[in-house]
Amino acid sequence: MTVYAIIGGTGLTELSGFVLHKRSALQTPYGSPSADILQGEYAGRKVLFLARHGHPHRIPPHQINYRANLWALKQAGAQAIVAVNAVGGIHSAMGSGHLCVPHQIIDYTYGREHTFFEGDIEHVTHVDFSYPYDERLRQRLIAGLVAEGYPFSSSGVYGCTQGPRLETVAEIARMERDGCDIVGMTGMPEAVLARELDLPYVCLALVVNPAAGKGAGIITMDEIEAALAEGIVKVRAVLARLLI
């Protein structure tokens, strides 16, 4: 039976209903992960859990040690990754509270440690990244969303920006022209590092605000926190469906 690792983003620093069996403070060749790897049971199944931003939430997107996080999860026995990401909505269908299972990603980040294949290596390695998300896992998430009856999009293009600031109106307009449907700050290099480790990877994105220029006014943290509080309940239900 597949051992899933859940990477919790903003709003999901802990997994309600998770029965903890073991807490591991792992070290990797790339340093320390964001938090301890929690091993336990969720929805009746063995799972691993990692808070991407630490617990408490303290590590900004551009300073997350993505390499250590993915390496530690594989070291702890993960065989597939389910990433939960809070995002802004660009496409008109992506209103606050909407859920999306993206099928593609565009990387706008810079300066992040984005590969394991560097330094003292025996040969250059190129991984195929044509389809960044595992299709089998995408379909399992989609089935869970259908079963729960939540409004969702079964595809979408995730634009990953550097952060920690939010984007300008002009940047969002550019991303929309590029074909992006949602915008976040943590989708990369997480997805490609999972691919380099041969870990099937999927994203469940929760829209917590309209992107810059897509709402009636400026984006506020109160707005984001309210959407998170409501949306994380849906996320937990869908994760449980995936694990059944």
**Residues placed in the known binding site for substrate:** 185, 209-211
Provide the terminal-to-terminal Cα distance of the chain, rounded to the nearest Å. 11
The candidate with the shortest Cα–Cα distance to 172, out of 205, 214, 207, 209, is: 214
Contact 182, 91 (CB under 8 A): yes
Strands of 68-156 (E only): list them.
Answer: 80-89, 99-100, 104-107, 152-153
Q: Which residue has the tokens 């991984």?
A: 127
Sequence ranges of the binding site for phosphate: 10, 52-53, 186
Structure tokens at 97: 């509270």
In sequence order, the 6+-apart residues with CB closer than 8 A to the CB of 47 are 3, 4, 5, 6, 18, 39, 40, 41, 243
Inter-axis angle of helices 221-243 and 135-148, to 10 degrees?
100
In sequence order, the 6+-apart residues with CB closer than 8 A to the CB of 40 are 18, 19, 20, 21, 22, 46, 47, 49
Sequence ranges of the binding site: 10, 52-53, 185-186, 209-211
Q: What angle is formed at CA 136 by the lines to CA 94 and CA 140, rounded to 5 degrees?
A: 60
